[in-house]
Amino acid sequence: MLFLIRAAVVIGGLSYLALLRDRPDAVPTLPAVSPQAPAHALAAAFDAMPAETREQLVREGVDGLVRRLGTTRPASADTLAEADRQPPWRGVASR
pTM, 2 dp:
0.39
Distances from the Cα of 3 to the Cα of 6, 9, 11, 17, 69, angstroms: 5, 10, 12, 21, 65
Distances from the Cα of 86 to the Cα of 76, 79, 81, 93, angstroms: 19, 14, 9, 9
Tens-level pLDDT at each residue, the chain (95 residues):
889 999 999 999 999 988 887 776 765 677 777 778 888 888 899 899 999 999 999 999 999 988 888 777 777 777 778 777 777 776 556 65
pLDDT value, residue 32: 76
**CA 50 to the chain's CA centroid:** 32
pLDDT value, residue 71: 75
Q: What are phi and psi of 36, to 5 degrees?
A: -90, -5
Q: What are phi and psi of 24, to 5 degrees?
A: -70, -25
Residues 92 and 82: their CA atoms lie apart, in Å, by: 10
Number of CB atoms found within 10 A of residue 87's CB: 8
pLDDT value, residue 90: 62
pLDDT value, residue 1: 83
Residues 21 and 13: their CA atoms lie apart, in Å, by: 12
pLDDT value, residue 92: 54
